[in-house]
């Protein structure tokens, strides 16, 4: 029997497990079974939480197909809520270790319940060599590609995970499945990419649909929202503070031009808890 907590941030849902207690060994295979929405719990993946020597808490995240991701913006907000409300880390400012480094997080609490979480997402990385992108330039920003039957302009950035941002006129009517899958699997990406399709409403508001590597279209992605704003800022279409409207909700992204760091503010919710046999 394994105790689990189902949580979501803007509809990006994961199964959360305290692995110091449950001690799941084969996390990848476990995640594939548990994430199945017909025969398992149903989720975008699993997040395993454990104590850490370098930070207050740490986690590993696996997508529904069993592949491991380095970071998840919606996931880390839920990890902070989980750790605080369950008394694992009873601090409003905490450090969380991820596969992409230690992130500093602040929880905003009302009557013992975490209502919002602010995450320091760090400094965006555009270097194609570090991102393992096979491309002749040092950065890939607003570059034209022939994708299937159309021309699209791609911007690549990592904010813990690699994301490719594409600006479109009407994101609701855009064929996300067709082009998201094609971009994800472009040969220039060594380990595939996440894809965000972005419609600019105005300079302080954008609408985003997410094609997540190893999952498909999801309701939200925190790192994807962050990547969309910094891509918009670099391409001159958004301000440094911008609201990201996703299918599952809204996230605020702040880009600090002085220290080049990004922050994300959003909610985290517990859906239910249970026992898996």
Task: Look up the CATH number of the domain holding residue 155.
Answer: 3.10.310.10
Residues 115 and 159 in one domain: no
Task: Give domain status of residue 127, yes or no.
Answer: no
Task: Give domain status of residue 130, yes or no.
Answer: no
> Using 50, 70 and 90 to split pLDDT, how confident is the model at 273?
very high
Instruction: Report helix, strand or coil for 267.
Output: coil
Residues 243 and 171 in one domain: yes
Sign of CA dihedral 161, 12, 22, 107: positive
Residues 147 and 39 in one domain: no
Going by C-beta distance under 8 Å and a sequence separation of 6 or more, which residues neighbour residue 58?
A: 49, 50, 51, 52, 96, 97, 98
Question: Residue 252: CA atoms inside 13 Å, Cβ hemisphere, count?
Answer: 8
Res. 214: pLDDT tops 90 = no
Evaluate whether 226 touches 253 at the Cβ level (below 8 Å): yes
Q: How many domains does the chain divide into?
A: 2
Task: Give domain status of residue 241, yes or no.
Answer: yes
pLDDT value at position 180? Answer: 97
Question: Residue 95: CA atoms inside 13 Å, Cβ hemisphere, count?
Answer: 8
Task: Give domain status of residue 132, yes or no.
Answer: no
Average pLDDT over residues 59-72: 94
Annotated active-site residue in 10, 46, 72, 156:
72
Evaluate whether 41 touches 35 at the Cβ level (below 8 Å): yes
Sign of CA dihedral 77, 70, 97, 157: negative
Instruction: Report helix, strand or coil for 89.
Output: coil
Residues 63 and 158 in one domain: no
Task: Give domain status of residue 156, yes or no.
Answer: yes
Task: Give domain status of residue 135, yes or no.
Answer: no
Residues 148 and 233 in one domain: yes
Name the pTM for this structure: 0.87
Res. 160: pLDDT tops 90 = no
Res. 154: pLDDT tops 90 = yes
Residues 157 and 115 in one domain: no
Does the annotation mark 72 as catalytic? yes
Q: What are phi and psi of 6, to 5 degrees?
A: -90, 125
Residues 236 and 272 in one domain: no
Residues 241 and 272 in one domain: no
> Using 50, 70 and 90 to split pLDDT, how confident is the model at 215?
confident
Q: Which residue has the higher pLDDT, 160 or 262?
A: 262
Nearest to 93 by CA among 101, 102, 105: 105
pLDDT value at position 196? Answer: 98
Residues 191 and 112 in one domain: no
Evaluate whether 266 touches 249 at the Cβ level (below 8 Å): yes
Res. 66: pLDDT tops 90 = yes
pLDDT value at position 112? Answer: 94
Task: Give domain status of residue 151, yes or no.
Answer: yes
Residues 8 and 117 in one domain: yes
pLDDT value at position 252? Answer: 97
Residues 165 and 205 in one domain: yes
Annotated active-site residue in 46, 78, 221, 242:
221
Does the annotation mark 46 as catalytic? no
* % the chain with pLDDT above 90: 97
Q: Which domain holds residue 193?
A: 143-258
Task: Give domain status of residue 134, yes or no.
Answer: no
| Radius of gyration of the chain, Cα coordinates, nearest whole angstrom | 18
Evaluate whether 275 touches 2 at the Cβ level (below 8 Å): yes
Residues 270 and 241 in one domain: no
Report the C-alpha gap between 169 and 158 in whole angstroms.
Answer: 24
Res. 49: pLDDT tops 90 = yes
């Amino acid at each position: 029997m394994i105790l689990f907590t189902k949580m979501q941030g803007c509809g990006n849902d994961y199964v959360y497990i305290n692995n110091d207690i449950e001690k799941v060994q084969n996390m990848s295979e476990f995640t594939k079974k548990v994430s199945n929405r017909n025969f398992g719990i149903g989720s975008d993946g699993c997040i395993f939480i454990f104590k850490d020597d370098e930070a207050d808490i740490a986690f590993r995240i696996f997508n529904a197909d069993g592949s491991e991701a380095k970071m998840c913006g919606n996931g880390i907000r839920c990890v902070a809520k989980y750790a605080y409300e369950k008394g694992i880390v009873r601090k409003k400012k905490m450090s969380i270790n991820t596969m992409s480094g230690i992130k500093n997080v602040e929880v905003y609490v009302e009557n013992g319940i975490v209502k919002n979480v602010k995450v320091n997402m760090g400094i965006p990385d555009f270097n194609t060599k570090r991102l393992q992108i096979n491309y002749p330039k040092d950065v890939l920003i607003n570059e034209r590609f022939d994708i299937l039957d159309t021309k699209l302009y791609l911007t690549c950035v990592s904010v813990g995970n690699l994301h490719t941002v594409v600006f479109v006129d009407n994101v609701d009517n855009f064929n996300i499945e067709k082009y998201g899958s094609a971009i994800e699997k472009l040969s220039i990406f060594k380990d595939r990419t996440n894809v965000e399709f972005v419609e600019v409403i105005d300079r302080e508001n954008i609408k985003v649909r997410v094609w997540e590597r190893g999952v498909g279209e999801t309701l939200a992605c925190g790192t994807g929202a962050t990547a969309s704003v910094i891509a918009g800022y670099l391409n001159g279409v958004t301000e440094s503070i911008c609201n990201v409207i996703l299918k599952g909700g809204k996230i605020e992204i702040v880009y600090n031009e002085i220290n080049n760091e990004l922050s994300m503010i959003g909610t985290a919710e517990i859906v239910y808890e249970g026992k898996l046999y």
